[in-house]
């Protein structure tokens, strides 16, 4: 489905009383809709999305598309590379701190991706 069609479908649902949530679909990152029956719906995937809290407690992971995860992982790797290249020769304490924090965050994301994939 094209983005246009997705937007159109979301518009139709909103007019029917659905609410736009600030939660995004774990698969495609499209903002989710809360339908009148209380379920969360992704217009792009055209399916109901199980709430993430519920997903976590059942031990099942909603994010299973390895293609998406691989894309994410490659973006993280590019970010790490950029981070390394942008590191100044004589960094200030603040710069080192920011570098360490960002590096840690990025590595953490990579670790999570690996956990999900294994």
Chain position whose Cβ is nearest to Zn ion:
25
- Of 23 and 30, the one with the shorter C-beta distance to Zn ion is 30
Q: Which of 6, 9, 23, 27 binds Zn ion (CB under 5 A)?
A: 27
Minimal CA–CA distance to 43: which of 21, 73, 66, 13?
A: 13
User: Judged by CB under 5 A, does residue 25 bind Zn ion?
Assistant: yes
Q: Residues 32, 49: contact at Cβ < 8 Å?
A: yes
User: Total residues at the site for Zn ion (CB under 5 A)?
Assistant: 7
Residues 35-64 that bind Zn ion (CB under 5 A): 42, 44-45
> Could you tell me the smallest distance in angstroms from the CB atom of residue 44 to Zn ion?
4
Q: What is the DSSP track for 9-56?
A: HHHHHHHTT-EEEEEE-TTT-PEEEE-TTS-EEETTTTEEE--HHHHH
Residues at the contact surface with Zn ion, assessed by CB under 5 A: 25, 27-28, 30, 42, 44-45
């Amino acid at each position: 489905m094209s983005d246009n069609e997705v937007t159109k479908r979301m518009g139709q649902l909103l007019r029917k009383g659905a609410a736009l949530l600030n939660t995004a679909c774990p698969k495609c990152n499209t903002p989710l809709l809360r339908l009148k029956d209380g379920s969360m719906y992704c217009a792009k995937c055209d399916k109901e999305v199980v709430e993430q809290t519920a997903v976590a407690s059942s031990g099942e992971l909603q994010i299973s598309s390895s293609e998406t995860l691989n894309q994410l992982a490659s973006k993280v790797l590019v970010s790490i590379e950029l981070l390394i290249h942008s590191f100044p020769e004589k960094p200030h304490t603040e710069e080192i701190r920011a570098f360490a924090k960002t590096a840690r965050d990025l590595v953490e994301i990579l670790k999570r991706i690996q956990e999900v994939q294994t």
